[in-house]
Amino acid sequence: MDGIYIVVTMGLGVPLNLAAFRAGIGSQLARYPRFQSIQVIKNDKPHWVLAPALNLEDHIIVVPTSPDAASDPDKAVEDYAASLSTAPMDRSRPLWEFHFLDFPTSEATSTAVLRVHHSLADGMSLLTLLMASTRSAADPSRLPAMPAPPARSGNIYARPRPSRSQSGLAFAAWVWSFVVLAWHTVVDVTLFVAIIMFARDPHTLFMRADVSGGGGGDLAAPYAGVVYLICMTSAPLPSAPNDEG
């Protein structure tokens, strides 16, 4: 296995317009230095360097329609996206690719699949970058706009103070709700700090090898939280900071 990849599948509501995609990728995504860089080994450590040249055609793949696409297009898209999680990438080029499947499924007219090595970005920063790189087809100069967050309502978001006409028990329950909230906050923060300081990650294939030979292989700073894995392989590369340099 050649690396850890992020694979993003995007359903399109219109047939594939390869010229528009090529122009958008070249003017938006490919202008960032990290998407123009390759990794080289220097002093036994990988480093980022700018590639001599960036050929967009090396990163845009139009997938031929297979016979399976006619019988079960949804499965054809899923199988193809799954295969990208283990297929190796050419390390002599920047480690990202767009794959286009120009046939309809039950949810889309065509499909675009983006594969990026995890060393370029994490999932959230990549999705944010994709959103920031989109433009309106009617007005290419207009920046993307996110929908307004839904209004939060209900008892969980409001703690109205009981009126004077209510009993002392209602007032005590109102005060107690804040005490419980404060207690759970203290407990959660204490557990979070304790996990960071004292816990160690379990041994998995994603753990960095122990180069000192003393066993273990734990990361120096263990992390706590929920991880959503979109793809899986091995041979980790040094993660890139979420910047444009």
Let me know: does 3 contact 118? Beta carbons within 8 Å: yes
Report which of residues 97 and 45 the model is more confident about.
97
Least confident range from 58-62, 112-116, 144-148: namely: 144-148
Confidence of residue 216 (pLDDT cuts 50, 70, 90): very low
Per residue in 114-138, pLDDT tens? 999 988 888 788 888 888 888 777 7
The model's pTM is 0.60
* CA 60 – CA 37 distance, rounded (Å): 17
- What's the token pair of residue 67? 């016979």
Q: Which residues of 20-49 are buried (b: 16+ CB within 10 A; e: fewer)?
A: ebbebbeebbbebebbebbbeeeeeeeebe
Instruction: Tell me what the mean pLDDT of segment 62-66 comes to.
Output: 89
Alpha helix positions (H), 106-155: 123-133
- Give the residue carrying structure tokens 């528009």: 20
What confidence score (pLDDT) does residue 79 get? Answer: 92
Q: Which active-site residues does the annotation give?
A: 118
Bridge-based pairing state of the strands 110-117 and 5-12: antiparallel
* CA 103 – CA 202 distance, rounded (Å): 43
Per residue in 200-213, pLDDT tens? 767 766 665 554 44
**Which domains are delineated in the chain?**
5-133 (3.30.559.10)
What confidence score (pLDDT) does residue 159 get? Answer: 63
Residues facing residue 12 across a β-bridge: 110
Count helices and strands (H / E) in the chain. Answer: 5, 6
